[in-house]
Structure 1
Amino acid sequence: MKLIISEKEIAARRIAHILAGNNVDQEKVYGVPVHHFKIDSEDYRVIGLKGHIMKVDYPKEYANWFKVDPIELIDAKIEKIPIQKKIIQALNKISSDADEIIIATDYDREGELI
């Protein structure tokens, strides 16, 4: 199965319909729409994100930057904090079956960071 990840749900829907015409089924995985179709007997799934699905931050001990030596921030461990938990669950579930993942986010810095 090939998994296509887009930046937004509307983009996921459009990508699926451009590639497969009207031969697209939709399922919900943890409440998240996932578009499914076949091309030449190859299964495809397309899922849209909602912008950033995680954020990063320093641990709480670095919250007050006036009390922290800036040098410490260089080696501080960055925490990954889930924002869109349902989308992350859906991605984890469907990506485990993927042979190939295609990133179809916008062609800009923001799209690359997502």
Structure 2
Amino acid sequence: MKLRLPDSSTTVLFVGFQAEGTRGRALQDGKKEIKMFGEMVPVRAKIKTIDGFSAHADQQEILRWLGNFTRAPQKTFVVHGEFPASSALAELIGKKLRWNTEIPKNGQRVILA
């Protein structure tokens, strides 16, 4: 990637969601240079995205999977997705399964005992 991004004859094709704060999102957002391995890399490649592909389960699939647990965990940490989506999922888990949920802050440490 580091060698290809500066090349204007290169096309980078994304077929999945790129989360905020990632290099992939920076490329999708049109950044003209990104930091890779400690150095700034110019972006001259064409950046394209095909929407509609996802390797992620939707809320109902996640609820169905969690519903198969024989007992509820003490707490369920929702750590995937951007805040609006993770917040909605945490609320849904709490409402439908009556589980205790939390969305940890970025970098927050949690002691599991």
Q: TM-score range by the shorter chain?
A: under 0.3
* Larger RCO (CA under 8 A, 6+ residues apart): 1
Query: What is the TM-score normalised by the length of structure 2?
Result: 0.26
Structure with the higher strand share, 1 or 2: 1
